[in-house]
Amino acid sequence: MIDLSFWFMFPVATVIATIAMMAGIGGSVIHAYFLIAERSTSVFGDVASILVFTVPGVIVGAQIGVLLANNTNPRVMGKFVGILFLILAILTLLLVI
């Protein structure tokens, strides 16, 4: 039987999942287009470049991330992720400047 205790969260979860999927699909399509349009390398090089970044991200996010989430304190994980995003933001800002 379906539990309808949290029925009001379904539209929010659907919107969040839809936005995440569209961002992922759109980003990969645009990334692939610009890699192929520049023609700086061969098509094999472009596909290899996409795989080099995609495969480790999937492995870390889907496998190791679940293990870490189950074995660590949520407060510690929140601080770690916050510091990680802060470092990435600073590096991105320095790259732009």
Q: What is the pLDDT of residue 18?
A: 84
More confident residue, 17 or 9: 17
Residue 71 identity:
N
The pLDDT-based confidence of 96 (bands split at 50, 70, 90) is confident
Tens digits of residue pLDDT in 34-93 = 767 766 667 777 677 777 777 777 777 777 777 777 888 888 888 888 898 899 889 888
SS3 annotation, the chain: CCCCCCHHHHHHHHHHHHHHHHHHHHHHHHHHHHHHHHCCCCHHHHHHHHHHHHHHHHHHHHHHHHHHHHHCCHHHHHHHHHHHHHHHHHHHHHHHC
Positive or negative: CA dihedral 13, 14, 16, 17: positive
